[in-house]
Structure 1
Amino acid sequence: MVTFFDASLESISVHHVGNQSLNELYALSKQPLALKDELLSKLLMQYFLTPFEKSTEVYHLMHPSDLELNTIYHFATQIFEEPDKFHDASEQIAKFLYNVTNHPNIKPGELYVGLFKDVQIEGNQLDVVGIFKSENKETYLKVYPDTGGFTVDYEENAININKLDKGVLIFSIEKENGYKVVVIDKNNSGQDAAVYWKDQFLQLKIRNDSFNQTNNTLSIYKNFVTQKLDDEFEMSKADKIDLLNRSMKYFKEKETFDLDEFTGEVIGNPEAIQSFKSFKSNYEQEFDSPINDNFEISGNAVKKQQRVYKSVLKLDKNFHIYIHGDNKLIEKGFDDDRAMNYYKVYFKEEQ
């Protein structure tokens, strides 16, 4: 979680970045923005930092061969170590973003590079380099008191400070690993255009902490149950939902994950257990993301996955059955006279 109760905005520079594939240009400011108005500083802090308050996934900047070759890492380090070169570094960051803005679906917009003090993440108050881009503009009505009533006016192409399009906070910690990084990207205009912010501009890799170990394990297990089991075993949808419910119950009740304990309690069948372990191993190799056999379970990751773990059995367009408990209390059959499937549900009382 990111908090900024004691934070301050030390410097900020604003540039404009167009789309070079559409022959648009970039425009650089000559000096940092003057922050003489205290209210303006507070509004900018709200616009830039509030969206990160609920961030739980932490990344690192990376490069496949040498971390020093990551452009954002290089200029973030320069800002941390030589704050007097802040504006020069912001110009280079704007030029680099322009170089990777080469898909026709990427919108032009203002780029803000800021230096913050005392932003907190995971209990540490740190200096932060923030990079933000505003792409979407809105029209606002303005109402003024007038003699005997009111006057209504409007302002076009204004920025909604409650809607940050793209942003990244780079914390001055774990430099050797690529710093701690949290990121926002809310405008994905097609998959090809979406990758440019995280993959081409920032070049991020997920930090392999308890949150991501928990999140990845639950994702892998869900994919295994919903996609892989049908290839090897005959299972009803009700049985699959039961397997998902049992896994979620395990992660909610346990403080630590143990692979053998989990597979024994949740899956049970030796052949299915081996199939899951192979499925997990293939994922680790394909995405170069090892997952420990034992790790501390992250409650935040469990809450995140619970939203996508579905316990609903959808029957045509007529019925939805929510299965939360014992799957032995629901039976599937086939009615020959109607030539239709049916489910029989056992219960003691209506509620």
Structure 2
Amino acid sequence: MTGIDSVVLKEVMVHKVGNPTRGEELKLSANTLSLNDTDVQKLLTKYFLGAFNEHEQYHFTHLSDVNMNEVYTYASAIFEKPDSFVPNTALLAHFLYTKSTHVKVKEGEMYIALFDQVPFGNEYVQALGIFKSETKETFLKVFQHGQSWEVIQEEGININKVDKGCLIFRKNKGQGYHVCVVDATNKQNDAQYWVNEFLQVTPYADSYHNTDKYLGLCKQFITNEYAEKFEVNKSEQIDLLNRSMDYFKTKEQFSMDEFTKEILHHTEVVDSFMEYKQTYETAKNFTIENEFDINLAAVKKQAKVFKTVLKLDKNFHIYIHGRRDLVEKGYDEMSGKHYYKLYFEQES
């Protein structure tokens, strides 16, 4: 998240949340953290907010009524009555404890933080952060002992990355607020308790969501389904990845009909893609529109993970940026090895 220099960290509560199926306890703190040290305040603010992507926003949901969403209810109470901060953090910790029953859920510290002056678009708003640290790292501490130096081992939290986080902006309460989410651990479908069971949030169906999720869909289809069903080689996969990304980089609006005609071409590939899209949406529990404005921030994010590198054994990496017709694959019977032939005009 950018522009956090203005943020004021008002209050922080820490509770210990274990996994009840392993007999681990819920240990509630009685008092908020002391925030007298400004350096500690800055470190905590960076730790809490640094990992969020403010473009990717969610909102609280519930099958019946959003007012029955527990996290939404407790957050609303804190916003409306700041003096209820401590008891409502205990309720949040109790609720997380009841959702921490999966075998892969680790014991950890739960932080609830109240912020002022958090950037949101062109304004600054109040926000509530809920975080959980599950991963401990080993550090070496060097200290002076008499006229010598000693080294001891300590365990602590890496302040450069948060394991799980949720930032609730005090905006658009009637629609379930605006929420940013981080979940860096337990990404398997059976262990996504943070997003699906504890927070119960769903993405806003805006241009960022549609662009980001559609590019993710394209990458998964080309990498998995396309390669298996149509027996294409790696360079053909990379070519389709490049053409898909180029479409999003050069267009202002996305059209499903246009994309399938210009990029996928063949009827059988289009049919397979449409089937894969339905399965993908069902598995991810969201919908991607067939027409939407393309969001450049989402394109930039996905461009970092669109791998267009052809790896040949451990000897060569070929970066293919376009012109599939200038790459030719063959097999040399004399050496018993495959080869690629590249055509170019000049060397630089």
Q: Same fold (TM over 0.5)?
A: yes
| Cα drift, residue 154 of structure 1 | 4.8
Q: Which runs of 5+ in 1 are unaligned?
A: none
- 1:62 aligns to 2:42 (yes or no): no
Return the alpha-carbon distance in structure 1 between the equivalents of residues 132 and 106 of structure 2. 10
Please report how far the alpha carbon of residue 229 of structure 1 lies from its aligned counterpart in structure 2 after TM superposition: 3.4
- Give the stretch that moved more between structures: 284-293 or 209-218: 284-293
Provide the aligned length of Structure 1 versus Structure 2.
347
Which residue of 2 is the match for residue 7 of structure 1?
Answer: 7
Residue 177 of structure 1: aligned partner: 175
Structure 1 equivalent of residue 99 of structure 2: 100
* Matched AA of 1:47: Y
Q: Does 1:75 align with 2:71?
A: no
CA separation in 1, counterparts of 2:58 and 2:275? 27
Q: Secondary structure of 2:214's match?
A: helix
Over 3 Å counting, the alpha-carbon distance change for 1:43 and 1:328 in structure 2 is closer
Tell me which amino acid in the other structure corresponds to 2:344: F
Identical positions, percent: 43
The equivalent residue for 2:35 is: 35
Q: Deviations over 1:102-124 (max 9, x none)?
A: 23443322222121111113333
Alignment of 1:141-220 (within 5 A): 141-143=141-143, 151-152=149-150, 154=152, 156-188=154-186, 191=188, 194-220=191-217
Superposition deviation, residue 151 in structure 1: 4.6
Offset of 1:276 from its aligned partner? 3.1
Deviation of 1:94 after TM superposition, in Å, equals: 1.1
In structure 2, the partner of 1:114 is: 113
What does the per-residue CA deviation read over 1:42-75, in whole Å, with 9 as the maximum and x for residues that have no partner? 33323322333x5542222222333222211110
- Following superposition, the deviation at residue 128 of structure 1 comes to 0.8
* Number of the residue aligned with 2:224: 227
Stretches of structure 2 lacking an aligned partner (at least 5 in a row): none
Q: How far apart are residue 152 of structure 1 and its match?
A: 4.4
TM-score (ref. length: structure 1)? 0.86
Instruction: Supply the RMSD in Å over aligned alpha carbons.
Output: 2.9
Partner of 2:88: 89
Q: 2:338 — aligned with what? A: 341
CA contact (8 A) 1:185 1:197 kept: yes
Q: Match of 1:51, as an amino acid?
A: A
Following TM superposition, by how much is the alpha carbon of 1:90 offset from its aligned partner in structure 2, in angstroms? 0.6
Could you report, residue by residue, the CA deviation over 1:10-67 in whole angstroms, capped at 9, with x for unpaired residues? 2222222222222222222223334344444333323322333x55422222223332
Q: Is the contact made by 1:3 and 1:121 (CA closer than 8 Å) also made in structure 2? A: no
